[in-house]
Chains A and B, each alone.
Chain A
Amino acid sequence: MSRVSIQQFRSTLASHSDQGALVGAYRELSRRSGPARGALFAGWIPWQDPPVSATPA
């Protein structure tokens, strides 16, 4: 997989952007995602997920 590197990505971003919108969106989604690790991606950490397809007996 060819990837855009850190430097390439930054140079395209530099001419742009208000990253503040992203900060705001992140905070809002984190809040909705719950307290685990306080993070948007908390739901991705299997230890903290309830099983969705099976329930322990």
Chain B
Amino acid sequence: MRRYVGDALRRRADEYGWDALRVLAGMAGGISPAGPSELALRACRAAGGSDEAAYPAAAALHALHAAIHLVDDIIDGEERSIVELPPGLRANLALALQCIAVEELAAAPPELRAPLMLAAAAAGRETSRGQELDAAGAADEEAYWRIVEAKTPPLFTAALRMGALSGGAAAATADALAAAGVPLGVLVQLGDDLGDVMGEALHPDWERPGDNVALRFALEADHPERERFHALVPLAADPAARAEAREILVRSGAFSFCVHHMRLAADEARRTVRAVPLLDHAPVLELIDHIAAPVAELLAEVGVDELEPALA
């Protein structure tokens, strides 16, 4: 039986009677289908390593991922909080989680400790920079894409690199596999954008529409209901206005635009993985398929040709 990656947090919660950490360990859900811990485990298997070999990396990524989520929610002003703490203490908890990530990596074989720690540190640093860019806002579409590539992929890149190294891959192989983390991060971010505006609940993105590519599309693209959409966005707190705006958003082609780019990102991730000399590509490819499944289902429902006329 595999060890549970969240035990790194649970063990410390028990040791110190640290309730917030325990809540986080329980709610984080450990290895999720799209999470960096699972990605690291699969990269390790692809390189020929055991799940046990990947454990320090997977546990560290779990803690780092939790830290990034805590900070992301604070920055976004999300009302749903993972832990019942004021923002300052959630930031404090995120700091502890980063330290726990380092502690977990100390359990890796001596020759892997430094490269794994450096990969995790780079992921945290780059994500932090991406968050700052994101907070400044995207002035135009080009800036939006720059921010997306800066903010989300570093954790995925690190997960692939750390997993491959844990599985015994050479540094060059791990780097090549890590490159798939960029389109994978873009894929997940676009899914997030879409989910944030298409969900029933009011998401903070409605207040910063330029930072969500679906909203940006409906605001900028030349479509018959653009003026109405502009009028509705400031009223998004009203569920009826939001529902009308969502319908326009889909009719404008914003939804198709996201799905189109998600499909391209998934394809690029698959191509990148296949080009890496691995013992077995399947574990990583399966995960990409899982992440891309909603796109595939949607395309199957409506037909790719109809969705992407001149672009196919």
Contacts and interface: CB of A to CB of B under 8 A. Distances in A.
Contacts of B252: 10, 19
B267 to A, nearest CB: 11
Q: Pick the most buried of A21, A25, A44, A47: most chain B CB atoms within 10 A of its CB.
A: A44
Interface residues of A, number: 48
B260 A9 contact: yes
Interface residues of B, number: 66
B309 interface: yes
Q: Is the interface of A mostly helix, strand, loop or mixed?
A: helix
Q: Pick the most buried of A4, A6, A21, A28: most chain B CB atoms within 10 A of its CB.
A: A6
Q: Is the interface of B mostly helix, strand, loop or mixed?
A: helix
A19 B253 contact: yes
Contacts of B220: 6-7
B76 to A, nearest CB: 13
B97 to A, nearest CB: 14
Contacts of A52: 31-33, 38
Interface string B244-276: 000100111101110011001000100000000
A3 B142 CA distance: 10
A49 B82 CA distance: 14
A6 B298 contact: no
B28 A12 contact: no
A53 B200 contact: no
Contacts of A7: 220-222
Contacts of B2: 53-54
Nearest to A50: B29
Contacts of A56: 4, 6-7, 10, 25-26, 29-30
A4 B311 contact: yes
Contacts of A53: 2, 31, 38, 41
Contact of B32 (A29, A46, A57): A46
A1 B183 contact: yes
Interface of A: 1, 3-7, 9-23, 25-26, 28-30, 33, 37-57
Given A19-B256, A38-B199, A46-B34, 15 more contacts: A1-B183, A1-B264, A3-B264, A9-B256, A10-B222, A14-B222, A14-B253, A17-B306, A22-B256, A26-B298, A29-B297, A44-B291, A49-B29, A50-B29, A55-B4
30 contacts: A1-B183, A1-B268, A10-B221, A13-B309, A14-B253, A17-B253, A17-B306, A17-B309, A19-B252, A21-B302, A21-B303, A22-B250, A22-B256, A23-B251, A23-B255, A25-B301, A26-B250, A29-B298, A33-B294, A37-B195, A40-B298, A44-B191, A46-B28, A52-B33, A53-B2, A54-B3, A54-B5, A55-B30, A56-B26, A56-B30
